[in-house]
Structure 1
Amino acid sequence: MTTSTTQAAHEATGTAPLAEPKEGVSQASQPGRLISLDVFRGLTVAAMILVNNPGDWGHIYAPLKHAAWHGCTPTDLIFPFFLFIVGVSIVYALDGARRQPEAHAPAMLRILKRSAILFGLGLLGALYPKFEFETVRIPGVLARISWVFLVCGVLFLKTTWRQQLGLLAFVLVLYNVLLQVVPVPGFGAANLEPGTNFGAWLDRLVFTENHLWKQSRTWDPEGLLGTLPAVGTGLLGMLTGQWLRRKDVEPATKVVWLFVNAGLLLVLGLIWNSWFPINKSLWTSSYVLYTGGLAMAALATLYWLCDVQNWRGFWTKPALVYGVNAITVFFLSAIVSKTLNLIKVGDVTLRVWLYNTFFTPYFSPINASLAGAIVCVLIWLGVLWVMYKKGVIIKV
């Protein structure tokens, strides 16, 4: 990871350097300028920090929990939103290289390097602080982001939008068949149950139980097979990004058709849910369409507000601050949380001591837990704000 100035920062976050629009041309028509994407990314990562850092895991409001299995809560939207954003960002980061065949090879090397760094950071976070390689979790959030970025980046360089749309449909149907038709070795008929579905069997075969999610050991919510439909989420983002970069379409028309397609995705997702249930842990095809529709609608709204209407008041600044250092804050927040659990204050960890000292005496248990999470988000906002003011962006 390296630090750079603001211009290089936007390359790292998937947007072109910001420049003043030409006289007489609306900012929304400038294909390299998409403030809404950074705002969307920032809001998504801030939400990720919120749900990952409750004061007390035993007391959490229902919307801040993942669905037990089938179903979708607001928390279940965060990760697919981020992968959707990855797809949009790829378009803005690689469109120039895509148009120049001689630039494809260097671009692929950059994609591979960034994917390797993301995967390595995921392993480092899983290893810290004990560094027990024999039991380290190999799948994970950063690992899935790295694979989606790698596959989608290469596909963007080498395929057309029509081919990407066809691949999206193929991937979603194939995944449905694999989970609901193909028998599971050792268990019999295809099923969607934790630990006995085809994806869980494949994870145990490839990674072994020692390297899967510690809460289950028999399956992993970011498992290998589930990365296939997760690439579909990235493809939806790529298709959206290519639509937004169209120079021959008016911004208002772009927004209208984004909402139309978002509604269509939601309807198709809910229909598919009737036999292939919406499920984050399995990343089912219905989940891809449902969350993709919501992500598309959210980005369309922000695009209209930030890039077309230029409503960029104080409300966008915190999101922008989070958005330009998204991976940094996600990784460091996990490291800091683990570090606080290493330090002892009497008979408890520093994290527990801080929580019991500043939150539990003043709130009900569930509100104390929420307050702890909100303060965590605000502390990181302060750190990121200083970095933003100094033009420091950690380029991953």
Structure 2
Amino acid sequence: MTATSHPDDLQETPTRLQSLDALRGFDMVWIMGLEPVFHELAKATHWPVFEWMSTQLIHPDWNGFRFYDLIFPLFLFMAGVSTPFSVGSALQKGVSRNKLLLRVVKRGLILVLLGIIYNNDGLHLTPISELRFGSVLGRIGLAYMFAGIVYLYAAERWLIFWFWSFIIGYWLILMFGSAPGFPAGDLTMAGNFASYADRCLMPGKLYLGIHDPEGLFSTIPAISTGLLGILTGLTLKKTGLPQMKKVWRMVMVGVILIALAWIWNLVFPINKNLWTSSFVLNVGGISLLLMALFYYIIDVKGYTKWAFFFKVIGMNSILIYMIKKFIDFNFANSALFGWLHQLLGGPFNLVVAACTYLLIKWMFLYFMYQKKVFLRV
């Protein structure tokens, strides 16, 4: 496949895509501290709506899908969306593909390193056998890197080809392969081929002993999650396409992908642990619908003030993910608001404690935002 320039109608967008920052903040706020708020509300009230929401914020044991499964792939999808606005713009300004390749690879490997640091509480001397190399940031870094390489050297139509190739190829491998001693197509934790490959290939320890949800082999279909984000970014960047057509295109493709996901689920279950192909389509479709919603409200209609809370988070998403390993926000919460938690008493004091914990983290990010300090990778 030869290197091909991207279409001429892809011109640099003059302003930052505000909806992308807001959606990234919406994604991160759940693991930043909003999740415990709903868990505590469910315990305090026993209201069915809060109990249902609390359940949605717990990963299923193996097969199935809950809202919490969306947070990780949505972030990877958005990393893909931003690629045409960053790497693509540099390409149009005349920066060589080889130079951009080094930039993409460097960013991917830095995320892998940050993931190792996060998992192992720093880089203190630890035997390799005790280190966990698989990580959320590592999965994002590798999938972003390979998707970015495809983007750099492929025309837009070939991006679609590679999107389907990775998930169909992964499906065929898992359907016709298995761990030794298991029947072909076994998708249990012990018997599936992806987990077996990780046990053979990955150094250190796996998260669940025989399986790692951020393993190396299941990064293959995750590349398609990144590619779907890149294709979405290319659509959003097209100056010749009316904004509402962009919205409807995202909605239409999103609905189609979700429908295909649940059909595929009948033979290849939706499973975040294995990042199955049906999972890619399901979270990809939902990500497209959310991107369409945020883009319509913020960039098309111009309603931006309500999203400031999320924007502050989204512009420093890597920082708030990493910083809890270095700053004890629980101590700060007790020191600043312990009196309030004790004053309230009863079951709702934990709800308030969860809310003030989230508030402290947001105020920290707001301070960084005011000082224009952002952690970029």
Quick check: 1:31–1:247 contact (8 Å CA) kept in 2?
no
Q: Which amino acid aligns with 1:41?
A: R
* Contact persistence 1:31–1:245 (CA under 8 A): no
Does residue 124 (structure 1) correspond to residue 117 (structure 2)? The answer is: yes
Q: Which segment is superposed worse, 323-332 or 29-38? A: 29-38
Instruction: Decide whether aligned partners of structure 1 residues 200 and 237 sit closer, same or farther in structure 2, where only a CA change above 3 A counts.
Output: same
Q: Are the aligned partners of 2:118 and 2:322 in contact in 1 as well (CA < 8 Å)?
A: yes
Counterpart of 1:323?
314
C-alpha separation in 1, matches of 2:374 and 2:326: 19
Q: Residues of 2 paired with 1:370 and 1:144: CA distance?
A: 33
Partner of 1:175: 170
| 1:379 is aligned to 2:357 | no
Aligned to 1:89: 82
User: Matches of 1:275 and 1:169 in 2, distance apart?
Assistant: 17
Alignment of 1:1-396 (within 5 A): 30=13, 32-50=15-33, 61-99=54-92, 103-128=96-121, 131-134=125-128, 135-207=130-202, 210-213=204-207, 216-313=208-305, 315-336=306-327, 362-364=345-347, 371-396=352-377
**Is the contact between residue 51 and residue 65 of structure 1 (CA under 8 Å) also seen in structure 2?**
no
Distance 2:131 2:271 in 1: 25
Query: Where does the alignment leave 5 or more consecutive residues of structure 1 unmatched?
Result: 1-28, 341-349
Please report how far the alpha carbon of residue 128 of structure 1 lies from its aligned counterpart in structure 2 after TM superposition. Answer: 1.4
State the TM-score, normalized to the length of structure 2: 0.85
Q: Distance in 1 between the 2:350 and 2:266 partners? A: 35
The alignment's TM-score, normalised by the length of structure 1, stands at 0.81
Partner of 1:26: none
CA distance in 2, matches of 1:101, 1:391: 29
Q: Which residue of 2 aligns with 1:343?
A: none
Q: Distance in 2 between matches of 1:274 and 1:285?
A: 12
- Name the SS of the counterpart of 1:395 in structure 2: coil
Conserved 8 A contact 1:262-1:293: yes
How far apart, CA to CA, are the structure 1 residues paired with 2:225 and 2:133? 21
Percentage identity across aligned positions? Answer: 31
User: How many residue pairs were aligned?
Assistant: 352
Give distance in 2, aligned partners of 1:363 and 1:84: 41
The 2-side partners of 1:178 and 1:356 are apart by 54
Higher relative contact order, chain-length normalized (CA < 8 Å, sep 6+): 1
Cα distance change of structure 1 residues 196 and 101 upon mapping to structure 2, 3 Å threshold: farther
**1:200–1:358 CA distance, 2 compared to 1 (3 A):** farther
Say which SS state the counterpart of residue 89 (structure 1) adopts. helix
Q: Once the two structures are superposed, what CA deviation does each residue of 1:87-111 show, in whole Å capped at 9, x if it has no partner?
A: 1011111112333665212211211
- Note the aligned Cα RMSD (angstroms): 2.8
Alpha-carbon shift at residue 356 of structure 1 (Å)? 9.8
Hey, what's the Cα distance between the residues in 1 that align with 2:24 and 2:159?
Answer: 23
Whether contact under 8 Å (1:49, 1:333) holds in the other structure is no
1:185: Cα distance to partner? 2.3
Equivalent in the alignment of 2:46: none
**2:361, 2:322 → 1: CA distance?**
12
Equivalent position amino acid for 2:127 in 1: F
Contact 2:333 2:353 (8 Å CA) reproduced: no
Distance 2:34 2:255 in 1: 27
Question: Any conservation in 1 of the 2:202–2:216 contact (CA below 8 Å)?
Answer: no
Instruction: Quickly say closer, same or farther: Cα 1:140–1:181, change in 2 above 3 A.
Output: same
Structure 2 residue runs of 5 or longer lacking an equivalent are: 1-11, 44-50
Rounded Cα–Cα distance in structure 1 between residues aligned with 2:179 and 2:153? 34
Q: 1:356 to 1:272 in 2, by over 3 A?
A: farther
